[in-house]
Amino acid sequence: MKLFRILFSLSVGVGLLTGSCKKVEEPPTRVGEQLPFSGPAKTLVQLLDSMPDVSLYKAMYHRSDIQHYMDSLANGSQDVPYILFAPTDKALMAAGYTADVIAAAPGAQLDTLVRYLTLPGKSIPPTVTTGLTCYPLMYPDRAMQRSEPYPPFSDFLPYYYILAVTFDGSTLILNGSKVSSQGTPVPATNGSIYRIDTLIQKPAYELYEVVSSDTTLSLFLASMRLNDSIYQDKGILTGPGYLTNYCDTGGLQFSVGGYRGAGAQPFADVLAPTNAAFRKAGLGSVDAIREFLNQSVITGPAYDYSYMQTNLDSIFQYHLFYFNQALLVAPPGIFFTFSAFGNYVYTSDMANNPTLVQRSADPGDGTRHLFNNVFFENRGGQIVVHRADKPSITANIVGPSNVTTLNGVLHRVDNLLK
- In this prediction, residue 369 has a pLDDT band, given cuts at 50, 70 and 90, of low
- Nearest CA among 190, 210, 217 for reference residue 47: 190
**Per-residue 3-state assignment (H helix, E strand, C coil) for 355-385:** EEEEEEECCCCCCCEEEEEEEEEEECCEEEE
Under DSSP, the state recorded for 112 is H
Q: Are 224 and 250 in contact (CB under 8 A)?
A: no
Crossing angle of helices 286-293 and 218-233, rounded to 10°: 40
Which ranges in 234-371 belong to alpha helices (H)? 275-280, 286-293, 313-316, 347-350
**Predicted pLDDT at 191:** 93
- Rounded to the nearest 5°, which phi and psi values hold at 179? -110, -15
- In this prediction, residue 343 has a pLDDT band, given cuts at 50, 70 and 90, of confident
**Predicted pLDDT at 362:** 55
- Nearest CA among 340, 335, 382, 374 for reference residue 355: 374
Q: Are 373 and 171 in contact (CB under 8 A)?
A: no
Residue 323's beta-bridge partner residues? 267
Q: Are 305 and 245 in contact (CB under 8 A)?
A: no
How many residues comprise the chain?
Answer: 418
Q: Are 41 and 189 in contact (CB under 8 A)?
A: yes
Over residues 234-248, the mean pLDDT reads 60
Check whether the bond before 203 is cis (ω within 30° of 0). Answer: no
42-51, 182-191, 248-257, 361-370, range with the lowest pLDDT: 361-370
- Rounded to the nearest 5°, which phi and psi values hold at 34? -70, 135
- Rounded to the nearest 5°, which phi and psi values hold at 90? -60, -40
Rounded Cα gap, residues 370 and 204, in angstroms = 32
More confident residue, 74 or 95: 95
Domains and CATH numbers, the chain: 40-126+185-198 (2.30.180.10), 207-413 (2.30.180.10)
Q: Give the predicted TM-score (pTM) of the model.
A: 0.82
Model confidence pLDDT, tens digit, residues 15-50 = 333 333 334 445 444 444 555 545 677 999 999 999
Rounded Cα gap, residues 272 and 95, in angstroms = 27
Instruction: Say which amino acid occupies 3.
Output: L
Model confidence pLDDT, tens digit, residues 138-179 = 988 877 777 775 544 445 567 889 999 999 988 999 999 999
Residue 382's beta-bridge partner residues? 379
- In this prediction, residue 290 has a pLDDT band, given cuts at 50, 70 and 90, of very high
**Predicted pLDDT at 157:** 67
- Exposed (0-12), middle (13-18) or buried (19+): which is 348, by Cβ within 10 Å? buried
Rounded Cα gap, residues 212 and 216, in angstroms = 10
Rounded Cα gap, residues 415 and 326, in angstroms = 29
Q: What sign does the dihedral 39-41-46-50 (CA atoms) show?
A: negative
Rounded Cα gap, residues 306 and 361, in angstroms = 13
**Predicted pLDDT at 258:** 46
Rounded Cα gap, residues 298 and 307, in angstroms = 12
Q: Are 102 and 60 in contact (CB under 8 A)?
A: yes
Over residues 180-202, the mean pLDDT reads 94
Q: Are 125 and 80 in contact (CB under 8 A)?
A: no
Q: Are 156 and 167 in contact (CB under 8 A)?
A: no
- In this prediction, residue 103 has a pLDDT band, given cuts at 50, 70 and 90, of very high
**Predicted pLDDT at 301:** 54
The rounded percent of the chain whose pLDDT value lies above 90 is 50
**Predicted pLDDT at 383:** 96
